[in-house]
A and B are shown apart, each in its own frame.
Chain A
Amino acid sequence: MRDDSRTGARLRGVCALVAAGLLAATLSAGLVAASGAREAQEVGDDPAAEHHMMRLASELRCLQCQNQTLADSNAPLAVDLRQQIRELLAKGQSDEQIKQYLVARYGDFVLYRPPLQSNTFLLWFGPALVLLAGLAALFWNLKRRLRRLESSPQYSEAESERAQRLLEKEAQEGGLS
């Protein structure tokens, strides 16, 4: 399934890209290829909308690729979906609506930013929880450690102070090394 998609994909890809290019060329109305320095036009009728589409597309997944965004992929479905997004944006749909449109057809898989829902709570809150738990465990451990060392003193006060002075001298000389 993968192989034929790729062979067919190449043909479709080249055709689609040339078609898209020609379409863009004709839509950039009134521009006749002429010589002489001229400021190049950004592709598409509306560069701002194009940028908007690419921004959206960079958070969406290409379904025919190994691991690429819709913005970066040349796969036929990616080209089609980018065009679809352009049309939806032109109709005035919001980012959220466009994402919902794609999710309704392809599932959450198409989003590179996982939606916050019951099966992704652990994903979104996990790192913070791990961090807080780790720091809390660290804090309690340090406290307990101090208590335990207190109850079984290893050195006398004088020795401790001498050790501290030696350490300070060493810290000035060598740091962590």
Chain B
Amino acid sequence: MSSSFRFLRFLLPLVVFLAIAGFLLKGLWLDPREIPSPLIDKPAPEFRLESLEDSSRQIDRKDMLGKVWLLNAWASWCVACREEHPLLVQFSRSATVPIVGLNYKDTRVDGMRWLAQFGNPYVASLFDENGRVGIDFGVYAVPETFVIDKLGVVRFKQIGPVTPEVLQEKILPLIQRLNA
């Protein structure tokens, strides 16, 4: 009995190594810099910002209650935003859900010009000049897109451009569920 226990002892390093290797293998497909949002299934933060297009108009959280909507953080200086923009423009035409833009750390002139050039899928864009609302939403790398339900609870966050796959496989089914 003691000799077989002794033998098992010598296997311990190998066992530990295999466990580590397993984790490393799994890790090859994870992104160590992707930060999952702690806001999922929590109420979206309060916000009240001027609209980008019309500085006399203010939009706040209460205005969006009662419907499922998308919040898309974008900026004119953001190259990756251009990747997803055509898809958003096209999606907005289907009028499934309203898309609200969050113009993050931009200037009115640049933002408006960008929308004129690339299209405007947003029912309105929040003008977040100093990025504070972005911070409240946990934005760290535009573009980022949030799906928010009728009660104002955040249900999904996409970090990086929205791809057709993400739209088809994650966002649309979720919207359907939330609207049901």
Contacts and interface: CB of A to CB of B under 8 A. Distances in A.
Q: When A and B assemble into the complex, do they touch directly, with CB atoms less than 8 Å apart?
A: yes
Interface of A: 1-5, 7-8, 11-12, 63-64, 76-77, 80-81, 84, 103-107, 109
A80 B160 CA distance: 21
Given A64-B140, A84-B135, A106 B161 contact: no
Given A8-B78, A80-B131, A106-B140, A1 B38 contact: no
B38 A106 contact: yes
Interface residues of B, number: 26
A135 to B, nearest CB: 16
B130 A80 contact: yes
A8 B80 CA distance: 11
A172 B163 CA distance: 75
* Majority-rule SS of A interface residues: helix
Contacts of A12: 77, 105
A105 B135 CA distance: 7
Given A2-B141, A63-B141, A64-B141, 19 more contacts: A1-B141, A1-B143, A4-B78, A4-B79, A5-B78, A7-B77, A8-B77, A8-B78, A12-B105, A80-B131, A81-B135, A84-B132, A104-B38, A105-B38, A105-B136, A105-B137, A105-B138, A106-B38, A107-B38
Contacts, number: 60
A11 B161 CA distance: 21
A81 to B, nearest CB: 7
A1 B160 CA distance: 6
Contacts of A103: 38
B140 A4 contact: no
Given A1-B161, A63-B35, A76-B105, A106 B138 contact: yes
A114 B131 CA distance: 27
29 contacts: A1-B141, A1-B161, A3-B79, A3-B80, A4-B77, A4-B79, A4-B81, A5-B78, A5-B141, A5-B142, A7-B77, A8-B75, A8-B78, A8-B79, A12-B77, A12-B105, A63-B140, A64-B140, A76-B105, A80-B130, A80-B131, A103-B38, A104-B38, A105-B39, A105-B135, A105-B138, A106-B138, A106-B140, A109-B35
